[in-house]
């Protein structure tokens, strides 16, 4: 399977614990995105990388959230001191923008569902 993969698929944790999620993009894609989706809502942008550089972070990404893409391949999203409001589906996407064309189709992974008790 050469699509975007995410691990774990489900995570249940107690409030106050730290959690880390991993995303492996499509191999040739240089952009990687993180989104958060709560029940009944569309996904909301959190942050994105071009290669290893983090180019934008949403206001939704509080100080407890940190994302990395150290080698420009896989990415991790860490949430420290989790709160019940962090419960959501965390989605990863990747893309390969084509210079000069309005393309940049994003391909999504299956998501990691986080439940904070």
Partner 1 sequence: KQEVTQIPAALSVPEGENLVLNCSFTDSAIYNLQWFRQDPGKGLTSLLLIQSSQREQTSGRLNASLDKSSGRSTLYIAASQPGDSATYLCAVSFRDDKIIFGKGTRLHILP
What residues line the site for partner 1 (CB under 8 A)? 6, 31, 33, 35, 40-45, 48, 55-56, 89, 91, 93, 97, 101-111, 113
Residue placing its CB nearer to partner 1 in the complex, 4 or 116: 4
Report which of 23, 42, 46 is spatially closest to residue 107, judged by C-alpha positions: 23
Query: What's the closest the beta carbon of residue 7 comes to partner 1, in angstroms?
Result: 13
Q: In terms of Cα–Cα distance, which of 78, 93, 107, 84 is closest to 38?
A: 84
Gap between the Cα atoms of 105 and 99, Å rounded: 13
- Which CB, 31 or 69, lies closer to partner 1? 31
Nearer to partner 1, 62 or 104 (CB): 104
Spatial separation of the C-alpha atoms in residues 84 and 80, rounded to whole Å? 12
């Amino acid at each position: 399977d050469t699509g975007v993969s995410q691990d774990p698929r489900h995570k249940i944790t107690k409030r106050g614990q730290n959690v880390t999620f991993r995303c492996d993009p499509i191999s040739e894609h240089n952009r990687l995105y993180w989104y958060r989706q709560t029940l009944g809502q569309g996904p909301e942008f959190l942050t994105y990388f071009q290669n290893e550089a983090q180019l934008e972070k949403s206001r939704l990404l509080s100080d407890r959230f940190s994302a990395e893409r150290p080698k420009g391949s896989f990415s991790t999203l860490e949430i420290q001191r989790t709160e019940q409001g962090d419960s959501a589906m965390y989605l990863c996407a990747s893309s390969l923008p084509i210079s000069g064309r309005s393309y940049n189709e994003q391909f999504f992974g299956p998501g990691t569902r986080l439940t904070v008790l």
